[in-house]
Amino acid sequence: MADSPEAIKKHIKLYTLIGAVLFVCTLLTVAVAKFEFLDFGQRGFDSVDAIIGLLIATFKATLVALIFMHLNHEKKMVYWLFGMGLFFAFCLMAIFAFAFSDPIEFQAFFGR
Amino acid sequence: MEIPFVVEPRKDTGLNNSKIGIWLFLASEVMLFGGLFSGYIFLRIYADYPWPERTLPVLPGLINTFILIGSSVTVVFAWVSLKLGQWRKFQVYMAITIVCAALFMVLKGIEYNAKFAHQAIRLDDYTVVEGHAHPQGGSHDYHAPKKNFNISAESVQINLSRVDDAYYEVMGKQYADGGMVLANKLTLNDGEVFEKGTAISKELIDRAKVDYLAAAANNSEIDIELGREAWAALKPKFPGKRYYEAVEGSKTLSEVVSAYTKELKKHRKEDYQTTTPNLIFVPNTGSASITVNPYWGKLSNPKEGDKGTLKLKDETLISGVTGDSSIALAIDGIDFRHTVMKAEEKGIDPAAAVANSWLLKDEKINKIWKKHQLITSKLKVLLEEDGREPTENDIYRINWQEIAGLQETDIADLEAMDYHDILALYPGDVEGFAGPDHKKIHYPEVIVPREQVRFESVFSPRWNTYYATYFTITGLHGLHVIAGALVLAYYLFFGRKMFEQRPEWLANRVEVGGLFWHFVDLVWIFLFPILYLM
């Protein structure tokens, strides 16, 4: 990353801006869950709300990762390490999914 | 020896030691929290009970989100200050970060505390009632038991191989106060005799326990010895036969050996010792009142006045007449969703199941329910204009704001009111910062007899899988906050010397600590909407 004092000074504004965006996005997440006129899909919590909420959260997390954690300009090795972590986290989720879709749970598999 | 690559990067990776170390660690953290999130998702999708969605008070969570985001900004500013060689600024930003961490944990503590003081009961018909449990029997002593099992004991049977010191320590005093005495004469193998009517004591139980265990060990040793003798005698008679194969008519080898062992035992009768596995005590006054923490055992017949047996987890059996084991609950939440779910499973009309529920027999609660139905009907009309309809939560769940807000309002007045005017009567988020405040608002009290209780718990991991995951993930996250704050505090308080000698090294360390801190923030960014808003 750019480590010279001049380059770092330039980043201060960006960090403040990202902080502000994160604050606003947090308020937006709450607003989407609380206000009727921002409640998309059916009334109350449903899959549409889950998608919207998680999209905002993912956007916020991406900002934190890219800007605060400097992942927008890191060395290749860091991407490998973090990428592997994410990959195996998804593998874990897949294992859960396989466990839950175990055919032994379904009556149709062995007959009633 | 000089450690290489503490400041300058290694050529092949382009990273210094601490950077590669922290990213390896963060990768493992991603997998840890990823696994926990997966667990949450699948527990929720496959839950066999109505999921408590949007159940946590949002305000503490929201403030905590702001705190963590703010601290993420200040920690990065602290690092920038070091890079620019500004020690004083670094100190200020780092101090703010640590104060934020402390504030986060204080709010978490307030939230947890409110949960642990909040009682929930799943009634026999699956209605869920929430509130604060009051001391039993109308006591005004705050520390008095709130949900104990009470029994008028006519006998206590102590299982000598399972009796547990921790249980006896608490129960022993009650037994002694109740005048428990030996129901039968007890003769130990060393000849010591305890007459019928001997008062219960730890010494007596310990003596009997040691005697019983020694006798049981002695007897089983003889059993093993004779069994071996029998096998040794019989095995050569039936060469090549396995224990399950028939050897004498339809009798298997093992049956033949058993019969032979029995014969052998007859000749060793005198070597066997008497075993007394249980001691029975009776109160010399006829009955003794016993009170037990409900998590210590199970009450076979919880109906007051019926014959019942209380079985403690150390197998102690307390038999007698069940006393008042009811729970007095100041109700701040009613949820019929589980009742409806169960009714639908059985093919019963959900509305009828709710109408016939035990809870609605209480006049106060019935009034609240009628008001709620009126509000739901108003909401239905309002939503129909937008082509929407009320959710199960709207129809079957009454939250604390509704109970508190409409206590003083008569149903006739509500009929004339607009839906939004009714909502305006509800207390706001600030009033119930971490949940309903029972000190400020008096909630209707209902005495729930123990036979109506299917399951009860405070809002702890025991209550349901939602709270189990809530406490697991937020607890683990909280530990990360504490650990991160400790590391950052170390840089703040012990970094001066390094700043003067190797400022680049300290900056690298702070960057790495900051990376961990951002990760903690990143986890919370997902936790907040998932646990509080969905």
- Say whether both B223 and B176 belong to one domain: yes
User: B357: closest CA among B197, B129, B50?
Assistant: B129
The CA distance from A105 to the nearest CA of chain B, in Å, is 12
- Say whether both B162 and B256 belong to one domain: yes
Q: How far apart are CA B375 and CA B420, in angstroms?
A: 10
Q: Which of A73, A81, A86, A91 to mutate to test the interface with B (most CBs of B within 10 A)?
A: A81
User: B507: closest CA among B497, B496, B499?
Assistant: B499
Q: Which residues pair with B335 in a beta bridge?
A: B128, B397
pLDDT digits (tens, 9 = 90+) for B118-177: 999 999 999 999 999 999 888 888 888 999 999 999 999 999 999 999 999 889 999 999
- Say whether both B336 and B316 belong to one domain: no
- Say whether both B267 and B208 belong to one domain: yes
Residue B2: is its pLDDT beyond 90? no
Considering only residues 50 to 89 of chain A, which have any Cβ-Cβ distance to chain B shorter than 8 Å? 50, 53-54, 56-57, 60-61, 64-65, 68-69, 75-78, 81-82, 84-86, 88-89
CA angle B290, B296, B300 (to 5 degrees): 70
For the segment B60-69, the average pLDDT, to the nearest whole number, is 97
Q: Which amino acid is at B230?
A: A
Q: How far apart are CA B136 and CA B324, in angstroms?
A: 8
- Say whether both B493 and B401 belong to one domain: no
Residue A112: is its pLDDT beyond 60? no
Q: Is B475 helix (H, G, I), strand (E, B) or coil?
A: helix
pLDDT digits (tens, 9 = 90+) for B77-86: 999 999 999 9
The domain that holds B47 is classified in CATH as 1.20.120.80
Across chain B, mean pLDDT equals: 94
- A23–B contact, CB cutoff 8 A: yes
- Say whether both B233 and B276 belong to one domain: yes
- Say whether both B113 and B158 belong to one domain: no
Q: How far apart are CA A65 and CA A46, in angstroms?
A: 28
DSSP B139-176: ---TTS-SS-EEEEEEEEEEETTT--HHHHHHHHHHHH
Q: How far apart are CA B410 and CA B367, in angstroms?
A: 9
For the segment B171-193, the average pLDDT, to the nearest whole number, is 94
Is B17:B6 a contact under the CB 8 Å cutoff?
yes
Residue finishing a domain among B322, B340, B363 = B322
* Contact at CB, B34 and A45, closer than 8 angstroms: no
- Structural domains counted in chain B: 3
pLDDT over 90 percentage in chain A: 55
Number of H helices, E strands in chain B: 16, 17
Residue B26: which residues within 8 A CB-CB, separation 6 or more?
A: A81, A82, A85, B515, B516, B519
- Say whether both B314 and B334 belong to one domain: no
* Contact at CB, B526 and A57, closer than 8 angstroms: yes
pLDDT over 90 percentage in chain B: 89
* Contact at CB, B76 and A29, closer than 8 angstroms: no
Q: Is residue B113 part of a domain?
A: yes
- Say whether both B34 and B56 belong to one domain: yes
Residue of B nearest to A70 (CA): B515
Q: pTM of the predicted model, to two decimals?
A: 0.88
Token readout for B51 is 């999921």
Q: Which residues of B touch A56 (CB under 8 A)?
A: 529
End-to-end CA distance of chain B: 55
**Which residue in the set B15, B72, B528 is minimally distant from A75, CB to CB?**
B15
Q: Whole domain around residue B173: which residue ranges?
A: 148-322
Is A94:A88 a contact under the CB 8 Å cutoff?
no
Residue finishing a domain among B301, B322, B343 = B322
Q: How far apart are CA B181 and CA B284, in angstroms?
A: 6
pLDDT range class, residue A100, cuts 50, 70, 90: confident
Token readout for B82 is 């070091």
- Say whether both B84 and B57 belong to one domain: yes
Q: Is residue B7 part of a domain?
A: no
Q: Is residue B423 part of a domain?
A: yes
For the segment B33-39, the average pLDDT, to the nearest whole number, is 94
For the segment A32-59, the average pLDDT, to the nearest whole number, is 91
pLDDT digits (tens, 9 = 90+) for B436-457: 999 989 999 999 999 999 999 9
Residue finishing a domain among B300, B322, B344 = B322
Residue A1: is its pLDDT beyond 50? no
- Say whether both B166 and B64 belong to one domain: no
Three-state DSSP string of B17-28: HHHHHHHHHHHH
* Boundaries of every domain in chain A: 1-69, 75-102
- Say whether both B266 and B338 belong to one domain: no
